Structure 1
Amino acid sequence: MATTAADVLVDRLIAWGVDTVFSLPGDGINGIFESLRRRQDKVRYVQVRHEEAAAFAACGYAKFAGRLGVCLATSGPGGIHLLNGLYDAKMDKQAVLAVTGHTFHDLIGTNYQQDVDLVKLFQDVAVYNERVAGPAHVVNALDAAVKAALAYRGVAHLCIPKDVQEMPADASRSAANVPGHSGDLVADTGLTPGAKTLQAAADVINAGKRVAILIGRGAIGCAAEVEQLADAVAGPVVKALLGKAALPDDSPYTSGGLGLLGTAPSQDAMKECDTLVLLGTSFPYLEFLPKPGQAKCVQLDIDPTRIGLRHPVDVGLSGYVRPILTALLPLIEKKADRSFLETAQDRMAKWNELMDERGRRTDFPMKPQVVGYTVNQFLPADAIISVDCGTVTTWAARHLKVRGTMMFSASGLLATMGNALPYAVGAAAAFPGRPVVAVCGDGGFTMTMTELATVAKYNLPVKVVIVKNNTLGQIKWEQIVFEGNPEYGCDLHPIDFAKFAEAVGVPGYTVEKAEDAERIIGEAFRQPGPALLQCVVDANEPPMPGHATTAQALQFAKSLARGERDRWDILKTVFKNAVREVI
């Protein structure tokens, strides 16, 4: 029975179906921790080593489980540390509740210890943001926060002063605050458009001769409907990064990813289509989309404010992708001309051959493509894959093949480093026993590497794959290719991650040669429980886009002419890649 305001909070979280809270203790939340301790049979506390990781884990939990992610942080610095992970949730539209502590309610604003106004600090990141005034305020505020997070697919924040947490649950209540008036239910807002709008969308699609489909995270769970649409319109399905798991990579309809880490066939499809169908995506890189005026466009999105955000839209349909497609498909006429799809399929077959050839290379230093290609052979069909931000994202997007019931995610619009390992913690908490793989660069891994201790503490079945090149590779190549300058400030001091893993109780493996990759990577994946695999790769292998532009080539040449120190090794690598691609 609830005896304190903190008890009321935790009991209400349980009523909402919350079963996991990611946190690190602190004196500003001791009252809540005592309530969690006495309810540990109903809600699981997962201890992380840094509050940023708690927010990342909550975001990963929300992404993979499709449920509310919850993180808890102490006052002052604890709450501040949450922000990067919370912005990741905000920008990728994930429902996360952050609960923070605060100093004593009657010392707020007096420069007391850890007296940081977290409500003011969180006002940009949160769709709901409130300080709890007392025990009678808890249920009302928590219900409003959870509803806002779920309905708006965003971050909600509650800040509770430390002494308020320990106040008696039956403390004074205003006469207007009628007990039991707040409900723990969120209405389903996924409406299906009317018949007239559906027919207008079908008319645009039916009139197209070269229809391309771009899918994002909103299309996850809709693979059958997406393939039916692709078959009817005889068009390729291009995938935004967060939509990688929406359609298996071995589907005959997909041409793979789009953008700098995408495929040449997908870029070709965007350049040549006369009709574009956007399904559950807010793909931000406008330069890879059809030019305005080139293609008619139909967009489906749960958020009506995102209709037409990236590309001019002729018909917009707001709601969930699956019910809209179910209603739309009977109105789509099957195209007799299959040439646009067949051309994309032929190009994709050649692209896959090229990727496989690069993945089997035996050069030394080992090529990063070898890691993705080889890891792919050992991925269980139900694996959950989290990927860090950097050049490692390119290798994972191109070489890891989603199949079966695999899940895949990365930091989307925020594109933050350090997310993969805490995402994996969140995924393992959401799906106990299911295999999880965190694919990290050495730069991103070092930002949250202490969470390997979290993996060890709970014996989570997480395999950590580190693509190690001792440089901030993505920044290095951006300096060279986009800025036309030699790289500067990107070198990283080498760390032996396998030894670090052993130090925290996780088996560590190292592979440096391509001929050893299959054997060692296989050993790591066959290891029961967690394991860490550091793969030492060539730092001069560029993650070039599917089609490099003339401007990129000129900046690349300019950088080398200005004195890029590894220019000869880089030129040799690029020349070899170009020759292989032509052959």
Structure 2
Amino acid sequence: MAEITSELLITRLAEWGVDTVFGLPGDGINGIMEGLRRHADRVKFVLVHHEEAAAFMATAYAKATGRIGVCLATSGPGGIHLANGLYDAKLDHAPVLAITGLQESAVLGTGYQQEVALDRLFEDVTEYNQVVMNPAQMPALVDVAIRTAYARRGVAHLTFPNDVQIAPAGKDPYSTVAPVRPPSTAPVYLAPAVRPRDEDLRRAADLLNGGQRVAILAGIGARGAGALVEQVADKLGAPVVKSLLGKMVVADDSPYVTGGLGLLGTKPSEELMEEADRLLMLGTNFPYTKFLPEPGSAKVVQIEIDPARAGTRIPTDVPLVGDVGATLEALLPLLDAKDKTFLTKYQAKMADWRGSMTALESPDRDPIAPQYVARLLDELATDDAVLTCDSGTIATWAARHWHIRGNREFYLSGTLATMAPGLPYAIGIQHAHPGRQVIAYVGDGGFAMLMAEFHTAARYGLPIRVVINNNNSLGQILWEQMVLGYPEHGIRFGEPKPDFAAWARGCGGFGVHVAKPGDLPGALREAFAHPGPALVDVAVNPDEPPLPGKVSYDQAKKFAEAWLHGQPRKASIASTLFKDKIQQLKG
């Protein structure tokens, strides 16, 4: 058979090191599917049930490997479904290439069936966005798209009309005067090792050396530089706060770590931000500015690879544009060793905080405490396990009770904070790391959105472990409503309750429902030992509050107002809060 343009697309992806494409076929991409069929020995196509899941899988693949993640969708509605997962990649700076189909070039603009201008739809989400109108543009546009996704740490999009997909490879129907000639060598993207200027490093060191109470805030941009972060923390006597995305930068049992910040964070971290007179921000664009030091209360040094983001969240005295690792290596010799009194103070605070969290993990509480579920996962998981998570109350439990140690990793939708990525993330990462233990820790609301993808895991024999924190409600929204002073409304799903365990078994996997705390350890051990995909649906206390590390007066006041305005289930919520406090006092 004569070579078609879609084959140039697929072979060039393979030359870039792409080994997996996540997607869902449709008549708008039949030519691309043929290209995949002809080169199935080089690029694997993973068939999903929903395009949104394909985009999440590509995003997770990119986050977990650092390599380009690729998703594929048909024209019109198929491409539209990609949008949520692509925004997740954009906001968390993951390199992803989206490939979509388009109606034949001869009918574009006529209102043809399923005609959607996906290039215009994706204008906001992409760093590179192109309609391929001439077979001669291949494979050059693949190179530009992938290099741009890497360089700008975001999303690239190529959309192909049907006739271009199946046109003879290399054909130029327009006799182009200046055809694009791609290089014949294997393509490569070399990320620059960016280091700030010496004078800027000196200014940053002088500012940090002049502080008495230094704090460090580390984000995902510091990944791979954990040892250097700890060396800086030791020299400055500085406690280290981690953003949620940056949770895996430094181990949770590090003597420097005070945990997370914000609603999912710890009391010591919040108090640290209130007390610090210097703040060193490492590879983070932490968005919740109300948890950062008040402007003027602390001088700030920020290490940021993108100069446009330096100083975005908080007035920054010394912005350092560079890679966190390279910058810290250059900065360390310029720092003066400080007394450890301030660090010791926060180590004591963290010991108290860890004790209070441990107290909430009691196996004796019935209904099952979600903190107990998270603790068991932490105990059963290997030291190189990967945990994926949904947005909602489960993010709080994971942030506080899942501990980074060894080579563990942790992924969720950080800045977009969308529901539903936990399961597809696990599938994408298990494809990327087939030998590692991958656990999806999800809520019932998020799981239900894309639960068909459990069948995808079963079809590909992926041994992911799915643990559902099932409160039969949109638990996070319940507490957010109450903190506004409103009684809950429209957040509990009621009866009949879906049987997620039966669905798992129906897909050919392991599935069990657990309602009693005594049954949970055995069920999890059995699921973890299962050779294929396994699901444990845990009925947890629906009235367990994901309280912030430090409850403000205004939050308490609004909570009381919700009570007075007719909050349902007041007795159950009050009982849970009382039991939490008793457990912490006992602990």
Q: TM-score, normalised by structure 2?
A: 0.97
What residue number does 2:568 align with? 565
1:150 alignment partner AA: Y
What residue number does 2:359 align with? 357
What residue number does 1:489 align with? 490
Distance 2:434 2:9 in 1: 25
What residue number does 2:58 align with? 58
What residue number does 2:463 align with? 461
What residue number does 2:91 align with? 91
CA offset digits 1:69-122 (Å, max 9, x no partner): 000100001000000000000111111000000111101111111111111111
What residue number does 1:527 align with? 530
**2:117 corresponds to 1:117:** yes
SS at match of 2:224: coil
Deviation of residue 186 (structure 1)?
A: 3.1
Distance 1:576 1:21 in 2: 49
SS at match of 1:426: helix
Distance 2:170 2:85 in 1: 35
Distance 1:553 1:144 in 2: 53
1:272 to 275, 287, 294: 275
Distance 1:237 1:396 in 2: 19
Q: CA RMSD in A?
A: 1.4
Distance 2:72 2:131 in 1: 14
Distance 2:410 2:394 in 1: 14
1:290-439, aligned counterparts within 5 Å?
290-335=293-338, 337-439=339-441
CA contact (8 A) 1:471 1:491 kept: yes
1:183-262, aligned counterparts within 5 Å?
184-262=187-265
SS at match of 1:304: coil
CA contact (8 A) 1:434 1:461 kept: no
SS at match of 2:365: coil
CA offset digits 1:143-175 (Å, max 9, x no partner): 111111110001000010011100001312512
**2:552 corresponds to 1:549:** yes
CA offset digits 1:7-27 (Å, max 9, x no partner): 111111111111110011111
**2:80 corresponds to 1:80:** yes
SS at match of 2:308: helix
Distance 1:145 1:182 in 2: 17
Deviation of residue 138 (structure 1)?
A: 2.1
CA contact (8 A) 2:362 2:369 kept: no
Deviation of residue 581 (structure 1)?
A: 3.9
Deviation of residue 433 (structure 1)?
A: 2.2
Distance 1:528 1:548 in 2: 44
Distance 1:480 1:305 in 2: 37
SS at match of 1:177: coil
Distance 2:104 2:18 in 1: 27
Distance 1:293 1:170 in 2: 61
SS at match of 2:448: helix
2:367 alignment partner AA: P
Distance 2:52 2:336 in 1: 50
Deviation of residue 178 (structure 1)?
A: 4.5
What residue number does 1:516 align with? 519
Q: TM-score, normalised by structure 1?
A: 0.98
CA contact (8 A) 2:259 2:269 kept: yes
What residue number does 1:175 align with? 177
What residue number does 2:147 align with? 147
SS at match of 2:107: coil
CA contact (8 A) 2:7 2:38 kept: no
SS at match of 1:305: coil
CA contact (8 A) 1:388 1:441 kept: yes
CA offset digits 1:235-268 (Å, max 9, x no partner): 1110100000111111111011111011111111
SS at match of 1:359: coil
CA contact (8 A) 1:192 1:319 kept: yes
Structure 1 stretches lacking a partner, 5+ long: none
**2:501 corresponds to 1:498:** yes
CA contact (8 A) 2:505 2:511 kept: yes
SS at match of 1:221: coil
Deviation of residue 579 (structure 1)?
A: 4.2
Distance 2:207 2:470 in 1: 48
CA offset digits 1:121-158 (Å, max 9, x no partner): 11111111110011101222221111111100010000
Distance 2:482 2:21 in 1: 43
Deviation of residue 478 (structure 1)?
A: 0.3
Deviation of residue 332 (structure 1)?
A: 1.0
Structure 2 stretches lacking a partner, 5+ long: none
Report the count of equivalent residues.
581
CA contact (8 A) 1:257 1:263 kept: yes
CA contact (8 A) 2:89 2:155 kept: yes
Deviation of residue 561 (structure 1)?
A: 0.7
Distance 2:510 2:504 in 1: 6
1:491 alignment partner AA: R
Deviation of residue 518 (structure 1)?
A: 1.9
What residue number does 2:103 align with? 103
**2:454 corresponds to 1:452:** yes
2:431 alignment partner AA: A
Q: Percent identity?
A: 50
Residues 292, 136 of structure 1: alpha-carbon distance in 2 compared, 3 angstrom cutoff: same
CA contact (8 A) 2:136 2:180 kept: no
Deviation of residue 2 (structure 1)?
A: 7.5
What residue number does 1:31 align with? 31
Greater mean deviation of Cα atoms: 172-181 or 86-95:
172-181
CA contact (8 A) 1:376 1:399 kept: yes
Deviation of residue 363 (structure 1)?
A: 1.7
CA contact (8 A) 1:392 1:439 kept: yes
CA contact (8 A) 2:359 2:584 kept: no
CA contact (8 A) 2:360 2:584 kept: no
2:73 alignment partner AA: A
CA offset digits 1:172-211 (Å, max 9, x no partner): 2512114335983434234101111111111111111111
2:446 alignment partner AA: G
Distance 2:2 2:289 in 1: 53
